[in-house]
Amino acid sequence: MALKIVKGSIDRMFDKNLQDLVRGIRNHKEDEAKYISTCIDEIKQELKQDNIAVKANAVCKLTYLQMLGYDVSWAAFNIVEVMSSSKFTYKRIGYLAASQCFHESTDVIMLTTNQIRKDLSSPNQYDTGVALTGLSCFVTPDLARDLANDIMTLVSHGDCVKRKRCSVLIMYKVFLKYPESLRPAFPRLKEKLEDPDPGVQSAAVNVICELARRNPKNYLSLAPLFFKLMTSSTNNWVLIKIIKLFGALTPLEPRLGKKLIEPLTNLIHSTSAMSLLYECVNTVIAVLISLSSGMPNHSASIQVMKYLGLLAMSKILKTHPKSVQSHKDLILQCLDDKDESIRLRALDLLYGMVSKKNLMEIVKKLMLHVDKAEGTTYRDELLTKIIDICSQSNYQYITNFEWSVSQPVTPHPPGISVSWWTIRVFAVAQMATLLDNAHLLTGSMQRNGICEVLYAAAWICGEFSEHLENPLQTLEAMLRPKVATLPGHIQAVYVQNAAKLFATVLKSQEGNTDSTTAQETSQLMIDRLPLFVQSANLEVQERASCILQLVKYIQKLQQKDVEVAEEVIALFAGELNPVAPKAQKKVPVPEGLDLDAWINEPPSESESEDEQPKAIFAKEEPKHSRPRHTEVDEKELARRREARKQEQANNPFYIKASPSSQKVYQDAPGVEHIPVVQIDLSVPLKVPGLPMSDQYVKLEEERRQKERAEKKKKEKKKRKEKRSGRGKKHDSGPESEEDITPAHMVDIVTEEMPENALPSDDDDKDPNDPHKALDIDLDKPLADSEKLPVRSHRAAEAPKSPAEDGDAESAATQEPKKKSGKEKREKKKDKDRDRKVSLKCSVSLQIQFSTSRIFNELSPSSFWVFNEKKSSKHKKKKQKKEKEEKEKKKKKKKHHHHHHHSDGGGEESVQNGTVEEEEPLPVSVYDIQGNLQDGSQVVVSVIFENKCDSFLKSMEFNVLDSLNSKLQRPEGSGPHDGLTVPFQLPPGVSNEARFVFTVQSIVMPQKLKGTLTFIVKDSSTHEKLDFKLHFTCTSYLITTPCYSDAFAKLLESGDLKGSSVRLEGVNMPFHHLLARICFHHHFSVVERIDSCASMYSRSIQGHHVCLLVKTSGQTVSIDAKCDEPTLLGNVLDEIKQTFSQC
Amino acid sequence: MIKFVLMVNRQGQTRLSRYYQPVELSRRAALEADVVRCCLTRKKDQCSFVEYKDFKLVYRQYAALYIVVGVTDTENELSIYELVHNFVEVLDKYFSRVSELDIMFNLDRVHIILDEMIQNGHIVETNKSRILAPLTALDKMADG
């Protein structure tokens, strides 16, 4: 123990360890962000060191910071380094960090393939363990493919229990990512079910349970095995899984159910574990409901059991609704529970329990709750549920529509009145009254947000205006000045529907010889509409002015005694069908139809008749006019039709009326089938001015007769006309409920589906479900082709494949080659080896590019990687040229790929022409720091890392000076001489060198071009490497603390010039944002109040830079002041870039 | 299966997080904050299961520390509920009277314990001494 303490203190002596970091963060509660940013700086320094212990410590701290929400993906490469350490304690840290930080798109993952493979086959069981654990978190399809075989080997030959256990589990992930491996691997997985070790067994059970849940039929053959396990296992967690599995299997094999009864009842009676009991009951409920003798846990008093009991009940409900309905009172009691989870569950249950008999009662109760409900979420949920309950199965439970329509809260009248045309007439009358009384309601309604009803009411009245008794009166009601106080979207509907009503009024006055009423109506419109034209709401304004013009025109025609009614009504002709929610999805795209292409140029003429309340009824489709008969000549008609078709073709919301449903309509027996709804009304009406309940009946009957007559007339008149039909009718309500109160027979309009829609049920399945791929028949014998990919040489044909390591030669021989001559084979081998080398280079290059990307993302200001690493070696190129014709093409492709990653746009043109092949390259990272002592000096530290297999020496670093920035060279050397790098680089080693630059002006960012020359020892050839140094403006800033009073004085002084920038879509907590600015742009926080902070920094030449950062939602605004506007502008640009990259 | 395991204190600070299904880093913070809020607002006499988006949260409170487990709908809530307690018992055994500070300062060790118990989102080991075996071996290695 004492030794441990001493050791700990030694550790602490040279570095801050995780404990210190945690302690430090706790001690810096006020300026946590700043403290962490300094810590991150330290960690960066530590990561640059060669000592693996230091690196591991740094990575360990990063893991902690990552948990706190800081982005550490820039250290991905370092994590890989630590992972590859040979010491287990470090390796463990590396894998832990990797499993936390890496995800499928982390590009360094492919570097880990070999490391993981090595660890998997390591004799140390713990190495294998951490590798497997890590792998489970970041396995990618590539990794899964490459490592599947290694994992399988572990599964079957692993001598250690732990290893076997882990590898069995990880197979599930591998299957998901690489489904092809399932079939070959399955037999071994099956073996593991009978493994002597319970841990391995349970792992196998877990994997198979997970697999079987998605595609149970493939695993039926395993049922006997599981049965044995279930009776023998004592581990509750495993038992739960097995029972779950049986739950999935039983529906497919009913005989299984009988066999299960006994063991399950035994378990239920014997177990003391609640969870196991629950699982048993659950399974019993799900599959063997006939056996269950009631619900043992529904009355349990503990909250937990209450919740679970409700959950279980909802499952019973699906199959045996009757048995649950008897518990209605209990469930209604649960609604009073103070726990929201339980209330919501109870609501769900109620939804399923609703029948014709109890609907009104339940809704009444719920309405009471709505009044009582505290908290908006719950209230919203309640309201939604009420609506759901009412509209369930196309309103089939609603025996009394009048009741439902007259409930002021239900915003679904449009839905009802479209679906139920039998009710339409009634609804229209109801809504008209509602509109008439709107002035009484608006006050309270607006407050309650129920004025949406008016919206629906207006629409219904307009749409079905032919059923209105007194359209003129309604029209008048809709145009009252009071309407202007309603919300904009409702006004828009009002205006639009006023126009429809207007058309109806005109129509009704058509026959009259006395045209005064019609003209009065026009006058009324012209008088009232200007009110809406002035509306602030754009939609209202636009519609109102359109309609106003139209009415004015009509008035002119009226004065000339022209018959206009037909034409006007034609504007709003056509019926709406209820459209099934999935209809749009099911429209098959006709062959050869490109939905995105213009068929013709878009029509220039504005088609006012198509202007429908599109945005209004989300569920409905916008209605498109179908002129019945207009006086326009045929040509014009055809032209318009064409134009409309175009418009429809381009309108993604448009669904063609289905001819099939039209046919059905025409075949329908006509009017006689219109059922008579008997009404009984027990719920008092809540809307004042509505007719009393018994009046409903009369009213309804009258209407119906009237409508019937009307319909007949229409029918005759328009038998041959196209009309969007209604679907076939079917009797609602199951027979068993026939005896329930009001004998009713109502027809439900089948929801409209597009023609050719496939009657598929798979809508709910997600095509992206990874489990779909695992739906593989496992009983088929394995085909020859189905083998796990054994590690073999995969050269350039897989551009993304990971680098192969030292055993390349053996791998190369494995590859089947068709060679005749010995020489040829030799040559080929050589070639392969060459290819291997270059391939490896290319991979190491890619790392650098990817790290460069990460660096760019993280700190565009100070960390950059040399973007240009390739240059041609002409001599070598010639030698290899003939050999590598083929590969060059591929390489070239790769270059493009690389360049795509690199950030400097200009470099590409230079590079693409010259670069032909890969060279072993050193690559480097650099960091620019301002020198505080001397305002014109900047120190650039460059890390050189040798990534190739050869020794590098005689490195020379040279930069092309610009007017502004110059590399400081020793006295006596010319302005174009390079600086010798004071070290040599053995393979795989990195080292740091510092270079000093003098900078004149720091207000502008600049890029310096440079070259690095070096000699590769083996070939003793000179190599050249081009790079660019990017001096950003932030690299001239130095983090300087500033007190708030000094800061205030600075701002008051008035010699700072301001500028500001807005960042949109920044999705991170404010303190992260600040930390980011601090970290990347060398600022320090002066003061922070809520979502507003002031920050300060100073440049090496003493410019003050002050920032005021404010955030609201995803928008961040930065107001900045600085005595040097150019510098400020550039710094702001850089900040903007930092956030645009995150 | 288990989606994630979180340990958070009453102030909403994350003490441990382990994801078994990849979640973007940017969304993690938001998710954690949301989950914590869900659990913190619940009173002691409310049940330990919360439905959250498309999955469920099972949580238990130990002093100021909440352990929250996100599970898919198909998982048995009670088994997770018991697993959480098992986990805490293991921590208790290893740290002998575990506290929040133990967890903060020995994050990597807690991770090892957790990895022994849950792997790939599945429960793999619940036997206390077997869970602690590798960790004790590791400690011996560090000491010796």
A784 CA: distance to closest CA in chain B (Å): 31
Which pLDDT band holds residue A1084 (cuts at 50, 70, 90)? confident
Q: What is the mean pLDDT of residues A865-874?
A: 37
Are A1064 and A1094 contained in the same domain?
yes
Query: What was the pLDDT predicted at B88?
Result: 92
Contact assignment for B119 to A133 by CB distance below 8 Å: yes
Q: Which of A96, A104, A202 has its CB closest to that of B124?
A: A202
Single residue among A76, A101, A126 that ends a domain in this structure: A101
Hey, what's the torsion of the CAs at A43, A45, A46, A47, to 10 degrees?
Answer: 90
Are A562 and A418 contained in the same domain?
yes
Please provide the size of chain B in residues.
144
Look up residue A692 and give its DSSP letter: P
CATH number for the domain that contains residue A1094? 3.30.310.10
Residues of B with CB below 8 A from A283's CB? none
**pTM listed for this prediction:** 0.44
Q: What is the mean pLDDT of residues A422-440?
A: 58
Are A398 and A461 contained in the same domain?
no
Contact assignment for B130 to A104 by CB distance below 8 Å: no
Highest mean pLDDT of the ranges A382-396, A888-902, B65-79: B65-79
Are A416 and A532 contained in the same domain?
yes
Residue A266 falls inside a structural domain:
no
Number of folded domains in chain A?
Answer: 5
Cα(A6)–Cα(A9) distance, integer angstroms: 5
* Selected residues 36-75 of chain B with any CB under 8 Å from a CB in chain A: 45-51, 74
Query: What was the pLDDT predicted at A722?
Result: 41
Cα(A22)–Cα(A16) distance, integer angstroms: 10
* Selected residues 74-113 of chain A with any CB under 8 Å from a CB in chain B: 88-89, 92-93, 96, 100-101, 103-104
Query: What was the pLDDT predicted at A594?
Result: 63
Residue type, A1091: S
Average pLDDT score over chain A:
65
Between A377 and B61, the more confident residue is B61
Q: Is A964 exposed, middle or buried (0-12, 13-18, 19+ CB in 10 A)?
A: middle
A69 CA: distance to closest CA in chain B (Å): 6
Q: What is the mean pLDDT of residues A736-754?
A: 41
Are A393 and A426 contained in the same domain?
no
Q: What is the DSSP string of A1085-1133?
A: EEEEETTEEEEEEEETT--EEEEEEEEETTEEEEEEEES-HHHHHHHHH
CA distances from A1101 to A860, A935, A938, A999, B131 (A): 21, 5, 11, 10, 59
Are A366 and A461 contained in the same domain?
no
Interface check for B34 against chain A (CB to CB < 8 A): the answer is no
Q: Which domain holds residue A91?
A: 1-101
Interface check for A167 against chain B (CB to CB < 8 A): the answer is no
Please name the residue that has the structure tokens 């002129």: A627
- Angle, nearest 10°, between helix axes A274-287 and A254-270? 150
Between A106 and A716, the more confident residue is A106
Which pLDDT band holds residue A613 (cuts at 50, 70, 90)? very low
Residues of B with CB below 8 A from A341's CB? 46-47, 49-51
A775 and A816 in contact (C-beta within 8 Å)? no
Q: Which domain holds residue B90?
A: 2-143
A382 CA: distance to closest CA in chain B (Å): 16
Between A456 and A852, the more confident residue is A456
Are A1078 and A976 contained in the same domain?
no
Contact assignment for B29 to A69 by CB distance below 8 Å: yes
Query: What was the pLDDT predicted at A1089?
Result: 78
Largest CA distance in chain A: 114
Contact assignment for B124 to A206 by CB distance below 8 Å: yes
Between A451 and A491, the more confident residue is A491
Cα(A156)–Cα(A145) distance, integer angstroms: 18
Cα(A753)–Cα(A759) distance, integer angstroms: 10
Query: What was the pLDDT predicted at B5?
Result: 92
Does residue B87 carry a pLDDT above 90?
yes
Interface check for B126 against chain A (CB to CB < 8 A): the answer is yes
Query: What was the pLDDT predicted at A776?
Result: 61
- pLDDT tens-digit map of A202-229: 778 888 888 887 777 778 788 888 888 8
Please provide the size of chain A in residues.
1142
Cα(A83)–Cα(A93) distance, integer angstroms: 7
> What is the percentage of chain B residues whose pLDDT exceeds 70?
99
> What is the percentage of chain B residues whose pLDDT exceeds 90?
12
Query: What was the pLDDT predicted at B91?
Result: 92
Does residue A155 carry a pLDDT above 60?
yes
Query: What was the pLDDT predicted at A928?
Result: 60
- pLDDT tens-digit map of A161-209: 666 666 667 777 778 778 777 877 788 778 777 777 777 777 788 888 8
Are A1081 and A952 contained in the same domain?
no
Phi and psi at A731, nearest 5°, equal -75, 135
Please name the residue that has the structure tokens 């600022």: A1083
Does residue B90 carry a pLDDT above 90?
yes
Single residue among A514, A535, A569 that ends a domain in this structure: A569
Interface check for B119 against chain A (CB to CB < 8 A): the answer is yes
Does residue B115 carry a pLDDT above 60?
yes
CATH number for the domain that contains residue B69? 3.30.450.60
Cα(A752)–Cα(A580) distance, integer angstroms: 5
Cα(A501)–Cα(A565) distance, integer angstroms: 12
Q: What is the mean pLDDT of residues A735-760?
A: 42
Query: What was the pLDDT predicted at A164?
Result: 64
- Min mean pLDDT across A596-605, A884-893, B133-142 is at A884-893
Count of Cβ atoms closer than 10 Å to residue A718 Cβ: 12
Compute the count of residue pairs across chains A and B with CB atoms less than 8 Å apart.
150
Interface check for B85 against chain A (CB to CB < 8 A): the answer is no
Residue A1106 falls inside a structural domain:
yes
Which pLDDT band holds residue A491 (cuts at 50, 70, 90)? confident
Are A347 and A415 contained in the same domain?
no
Number of folded domains in chain B?
Answer: 1
Q: What is the mean pLDDT of residues B94-120?
A: 86
Interface check for B124 against chain A (CB to CB < 8 A): the answer is yes
Highest mean pLDDT of the ranges A74-88, A398-412, A639-653: A74-88
A264 and A243 in contact (C-beta within 8 Å)? yes
Residue A531 falls inside a structural domain:
yes
Hey, what's the torsion of the CAs at A399, A403, A408, A413, to 10 degrees?
Answer: 50
Hey, what's the torsion of the CAs at B91, B93, B99, B104, to 10 degrees?
Answer: -40
Count of Cβ atoms closer than 10 Å to residue A465 Cβ: 24
- pLDDT tens-digit map of A958-1004: 888 877 777 877 777 777 777 787 777 777 777 777 778 888 788 88
Which pLDDT band holds residue B70 (cuts at 50, 70, 90)? very high
